[in-house]
């Protein structure tokens, strides 16, 4: 997959089958779109192209009111998209000026002029252009005169629930990583650097790695305890993660992520780790003392181990 960071960088000797969108999460609905453009491109030996944007448009258009958190960092997004096998990824800078592109200019200058589109594959609810004035019907009306076809993908559904990045974010914020992972088609993860902590966990045989996230826009699942897997230096370990304020021992103002790694005794301060959330074990609870906390952690660890063993969640 070739990656471009501006429309002006893109060049190709072939016509293109194109899809457009923010693609936050690269979830199973997105994957259906991308598989479709690959299949359509192969029919005529054309190139498959995704045009996406960074930063997320909502962060540019509503910077003061948006509390949007993202499912992917830019690095993660590129990595997920590369796994889909498309030919070209264009990450165009989104700005207020770009947002004022009219629907007609979007078609003539971007789709036709820059991308040499042969076929545009889009979701049923696609909007584009200034004030989202363009829609599927506009595209179908404009396409014949500009020499391309439009293929619509209907809503993708799981158990009669439409998949969307918004619904995945909501599931994660509620701690429902099982649903989020099902909709994503892969296990949700965050990454960050291990920092020094108070080391209280060591006193009750549950040392934890405190994780400072790499990107403040990355969504952290809701407070609670999770079975997880942890990748360090290319190796994967089972563990359990706590997201919360640690009410029994400190009552922090902000939620933090800390991870206890099973069968692990190495110094990893300063190292980058990836934490993948497998299943929610319970809500965060304030115990009367650390002895009660340890008793519950014993139960959590046993349950997390069973879950990880059953799912084969550790490489």
Q: Given a cut of 60, is residue 173 above it in pLDDT? A: yes
- pLDDT for res 172: 98
* pLDDT over 60 at 175, yes or no: yes
Q: What are the chain's domains?
A: 2-162 (3.40.50.620), 188-311 (2.40.30.30)
* pLDDT band of 199, cuts 50, 70, 90: low
- Looking at residue 157, what is its pLDDT? 52
Rounded Cα–Cα distance for residues 144 and 170 (Å): 39
* Between residues 145 and 154, the one the model is more confident about: 145
Residues in the chain: 315
Is 40 in contact with 121 (CB distance < 8 Å)?
A: yes
- Which pLDDT tens digit goes with each residue over 65-124? 778 999 999 999 999 999 999 999 999 999 999 999 999 999 999 999 999 999 999 887
Q: Residue 86: helix, strand or coil by DSSP? A: coil
The strand order across the sheet containing 149-153 reads 2-4, 88-93, 47-54, 16-20, 117-123, 149-153
Axis crossing angle, helix 74-84 with helix 28-43, rounded to the nearest 10: 50
Sorting pLDDT into bands at 50, 70 and 90, what band is 163? confident
3-state DSSP assignment of residue 88: strand
Q: Is the pLDDT of residue 159 over 60?
A: no
Is the pLDDT score of 313 beyond 80?
no
pLDDT of 239 reads 97
CB-based burial label for 284 (10 Å; 0-12, 13-18, 19+): middle
Whether residue 129 is predicted with pLDDT greater than 70 in this model: the reply is: yes
List the beta bridge partners of residue 13. Answer: none
Q: Provide DSSP, 239-275.
A: EEEEEE--TTTT--SS-EEEEEETT-----TT-EEEE
**pLDDT 10s digits, 204-240:** 788 999 999 989 899 999 999 999 999 999 999 999 9
Question: Mean pLDDT across the stretch 160-177?
Answer: 89
- Given a cut of 60, is residue 250 above it in pLDDT? no
177-184 and 165-173 helices, crossing angle to 10°: 160
**Average pLDDT taken over every residue of the chain:** 90
Q: State the pTM of this model.
A: 0.91
The stretch 30-58 carries a mean pLDDT of 95
pLDDT digits (tens, 9 = 90+) for 281-295: 999 888 878 888 899
315: pLDDT confidence band, cut at 50, 70 and 90?
very low
Chain centroid, CA 166 distance in Å:
11
Q: For residue 174, what pLDDT is reported?
A: 97
Pick from 97, 91, 86, 9: nearest CA to 40: 86
- Residue of 236, 210, 248 whose CA lies nearest to 315: 236
Q: Is 187 exposed, middle or buried (0-12, 13-18, 19+ CB in 10 A)?
A: middle
User: Mean of the pLDDT values across residues 128-150?
Assistant: 91
């Amino acid at each position: 997959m070739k990656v471009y960071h501006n429309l002006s960088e893109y060049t190709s000797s072939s016509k293109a089958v194109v899809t457009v969108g923010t693609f936050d999460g690269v979830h199973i609905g997105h994957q259906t779109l991308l598989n479709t453009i690959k299949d359509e491109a192969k029919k005529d030996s054309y190139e498959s192209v995704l045009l996406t944007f960074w930063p997320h448009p909502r962060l540019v258009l509503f910077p003061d009111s948006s509390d949007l958190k993202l499912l992917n960092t830019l690095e993660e997004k590129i990595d997920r998209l590369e796994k889909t096998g498309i030919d070209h990824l264009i990450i165009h800078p989104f700005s207020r000026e770009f947002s004022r592109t009219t629907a007609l200019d979007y078609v003539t200058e971007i789709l036709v002029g820059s991308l040499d589109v042969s076929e545009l594959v889009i979701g049923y609810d696609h909007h584009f252009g200034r004030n989202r004035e363009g829609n599927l019907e506009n595209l179908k009306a404009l396409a014949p005169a500009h020499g391309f076809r439009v293929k619509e993908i209907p809503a993708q559904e799981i158990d009669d629930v439409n998949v969307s990045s918004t619904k995945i974010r909501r599931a994660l914020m509620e701690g429902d990583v099982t649903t989020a992972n099902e909709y994503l088609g892969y296990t949700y993860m965050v990454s960050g650097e291990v920092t020094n902590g108070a080391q209280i966990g060591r006193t009750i045989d549950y040392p934890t790695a405190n994780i400072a996230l790499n990107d403040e826009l990355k969504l952290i699942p809701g407070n609670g305890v999770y079975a997880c897997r942890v990748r360090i230096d290319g190796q994967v370990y089972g563990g359990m993660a706590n997201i919360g304020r640690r009410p029994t021992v400190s009552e922090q103002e902000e939620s933090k992520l800390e991870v206890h790694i099973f069968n692990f005794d190495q110094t990893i301060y300063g190292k980058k780790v990836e934490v993948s959330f497998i299943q929610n074990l319970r809500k965060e609870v304030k115990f009367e003392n650390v002895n009660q906390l340890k008793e519950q952690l014993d139960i959590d660890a046993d349950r997390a181990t069973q879950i990880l063993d059953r799912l084969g969640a550790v490489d």
